[in-house]
């Protein structure tokens, strides 16, 4: 399993680097990394395991956070209490989004950012992504609300963008009244 210390810190150059498209078929090494990333996220969201393995809770990880400058990310989303759904998106593209903007009321966090960053990150309330699954099959995913935020956050990582880049340093809560808090 991936340890918290395996996830790169925000200061690491991999997080701002250009990422390349993934070619198929995936190597067994890449498939194992994806599996390990999902396992880490799953255990990080279950209190007993998070305490046992000293994991910060997270629902998404992108390849650059693991030191791999390739275009893929994973999300482990708790849809209902104790029921998780895994998403693997390789060479993703956001093909549509709502006009409505939302933000995470508690603020966004990141497993690569070990500090609190106050402010709101404007995100689309609904998004549609295309890409490929772990076997190279084309997929299309529609996400709303919290899941939409996670997809946009991880996609930003693939473009060398950190969530706090979206926060206005002079007015961290700028335009709050024009967005819906979730």
Instruction: Say how far apart CA 22 and CA 34 lie, in whole Å.
Output: 13
Mapped onto helix, strand or coil, the DSSP state of residue 61 is strand
Taken in order 13, 166, 133, 136, the sign of the CA dihedral is: negative
Distance of CA 177 to the CA centre of its chain: 25
Single out the catalytic residue among 21, 78, 106, 154: 154
Active site residue 154: yes
How many helices (H) and strands (E) are present in the chain, helices listed first?
3, 8
Known catalytic residues are 154
């Amino acid at each position: 399993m991936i340890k918290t210390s395996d996830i790169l810190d925000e200061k690491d150059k991999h997080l701002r680097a250009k990422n390349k498209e993934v070619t198929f078929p995936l190597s067994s090494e890449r498939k194992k990394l994806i599996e390990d990333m999902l396992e880490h996220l799953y255990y990080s969201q279950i209190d007993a395991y998070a305490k046992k393995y000293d994991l910060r809770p997270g629902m998404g990880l992108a390849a650059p956070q693991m030191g791999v400058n390739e275009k893929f990310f994973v999300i482990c989303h708790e849809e209902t209490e104790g029921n998780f759904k895994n998403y693997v998106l390789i060479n993703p593209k956001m093909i549509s989004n709502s006009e409505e903007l939302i933000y995470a009321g508690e603020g966004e966090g990141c497993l690569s950012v070990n500090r609190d960053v106050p402010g709101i990150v404007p995100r689309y309330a609904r998004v549609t992504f295309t890409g490929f699954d772990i076997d190279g099959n084309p997929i299309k995913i529609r996400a709303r609300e919290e899941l939409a935020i996670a997809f946009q956050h991880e996609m930003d990582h693939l473009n060398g963008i950190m969530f706090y880049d979206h926060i206005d340093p002079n007015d961290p809560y700028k335009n709050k009244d024009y967005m819906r808090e979730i």
